[in-house]
Amino acid sequence: MPEGAPDTVEQHLDRVLRDLEPLPVFPQPLMDTLGLACAEDITAAVALPSFDNSAMDGYAVVAADVASASDEFPVHLPVVGEIGAGNAQLLALAPGTAAKIMTGAPVPTGADAIVPYEWTDRGVAQVSIRQAPQPGQHVRPAGEDVAIGDLVVERGTVLGPRHLGLLASIGRATVRSRPRPRVVILSTGSELREPGVPLGHDSIYDGNSFLLAAAARRAGAIAYRVGILPDQPEAFLTALDDQLVRADVVVTSGGVSQGDFDVVKEALAPKGVWFGPVAMQPGKPQGFGFVGEDNTPIFTLPGNPVSSYISFQLFVLPALRKMMGMTPWSRPVVPARLTHAVTSPPGRRQYLRGEYVVDGGTVTVSPVGGPGSHLVGDLASSNALVVIPEETTAIPAGTLVDVLPLDLDY
């Protein structure tokens, strides 16, 4: 069947994103939210510190009682008790007395300074103090860091280790966020073998399912890499059906172009999945639709490894980010100066592999390898894609071009 006019990258991205909804928000255990977008404004229910506490191991005192202390004329005070962190029975201190106190322990009412052990004889019944603290010295006041009601994490923040530390510190065990999408990855191709087994004369290793599963995981999703499927539509549909129960998204590789064994297209076109060309290279043959009872989105990516990876970056990644409530959905394009001239065939937006270098104020990109969509060695040596517009056929060295850096966190 003749193919229609190709869609633009933007048209296909719109097809993918328009009916995809963010996953529903629910409270998740704190550690599970690392790297997820917080879906609520979080205010502190607990102040930090939550009570006045000691910054030093030493003695809680009334500063005025020891103001005259010096090496020559130490001040002696009776020690009336000991206050440990998590073991504080002494709640108030009378003037003219001292209490041993440990770092983090609550400062008793009446005391207003801490004398570190180093300024004393570490006495047990009575202490000799050789140096005077200022009023308030070595006391960490309640609310100094965070007050009750402070907005500590804003909705939309992508949670990192420091946010999790703070949220735990204010007593949050869960955070409302969108879950990681579960992405099932299916590789099709009778030529494929699992790494680790011997190859035949006409077989190759299945690199794509690892490439795609790793990219999905890097995007914050949960990736299920399903074994290799042969070029048989029935077997493909059975495997797909088995997997749908654990999929928020399905990604397939291979079997979508014009071949005699294009299994994915053959199996899914009758089910209403869209297949067609997109004016890009690599990645021309694309497919997208919804399958199964739950209308699970399915991306059918081309089998050439570079095509698969670039298709993931351009279409699957924004979809996963939308589902996770993360913005921006698509990787931002940045300008960089091209170090070598490049050429490109007209009619398709070309994504060349490149090495992107930021050196002080200078940002350059050098082409890595050729345009072939089978060049996985070059793909692994690159860290960016150089975007060459559809109608541009040659770009001289030194031109500012659009670049998609690949190793950013988004």
Ligand X SMILES: Nc1nc2c(c(=O)[nH]1)N[C@H]1C(S)=C(S)[C@@H](COP(=O)(O)OP(=O)(O)OC[C@H]3O[C@@H](n4cnc5c(N)ncnc54)[C@H](O)[C@@H]3O)O[C@H]1N2
Residues that bind ligand X (CB under 6 A): 187, 189, 191-192, 204, 206-209, 253-259, 262, 282, 284-285, 302-305, 307, 373
Which tokens hold the place of 90? 């002494």
**Nearer Cβ to ligand X (93/298):** 298
**Nearer Cβ to ligand X (119/351):** 351
**Nearer Cβ to ligand MOO (58/305):** 305
- The rounded distance, in Å, linking the Cα atoms of 299 and 301 is 6
- CB-based contact 279:372 (threshold 8 Å): no
Angle at 34 between CA 32 and CA 38, to 5 degrees: 95
Q: Is 254 in the site for ligand MOO (CB under 6 A)?
A: no
Q: Is 373 in the site for ligand MOO (CB under 6 A)?
A: yes
Shortest Cβ distance from residue 345 to ligand MOO (Å)?
10
**Nearer Cβ to ligand X (302/354):** 302
User: Nearest residue to ligand X, using CB?
Assistant: 303
Question: E strands of 18-148, at which residues?
Answer: 26-29, 42-43, 53-54, 58-61, 75-83, 98-101, 113-116, 126-129, 139-140
- CB-based contact 220:409 (threshold 8 Å): no
Which tokens hold the place of 234? 């029935």
- CB-based contact 278:12 (threshold 8 Å): yes
Shortest Cβ distance from residue 252 to ligand X (Å)?
9
Residue among 278, 395, 279, 401 at smallest CA distance from 348: 279
Of the ranges 120-128, 278-286, 312-320, 392-400, which one interacts with ligand MOO (CB under 6 A)? 278-286
Q: Is 302 in the site for ligand MOO (CB under 6 A)?
A: yes
Q: Is 12 in the site for ligand MOO (CB under 6 A)?
A: no
Which tokens hold the place of 78? 């009776």
Shortest Cβ distance from residue 315 to ligand X (Å)?
14
- The rounded distance, in Å, linking the Cα atoms of 326 and 330 is 10
Shortest Cβ distance from residue 353 to ligand MOO (Å)?
13
Which tokens hold the place of 77? 């005070």
Indicate which single residue of 58, 179, 189, 283 sits in contact with ligand MOO (rule: CB under 6 A): 283
Binding stretches for ligand MOO (CB under 6 A): 281-284, 302, 304, 307, 373
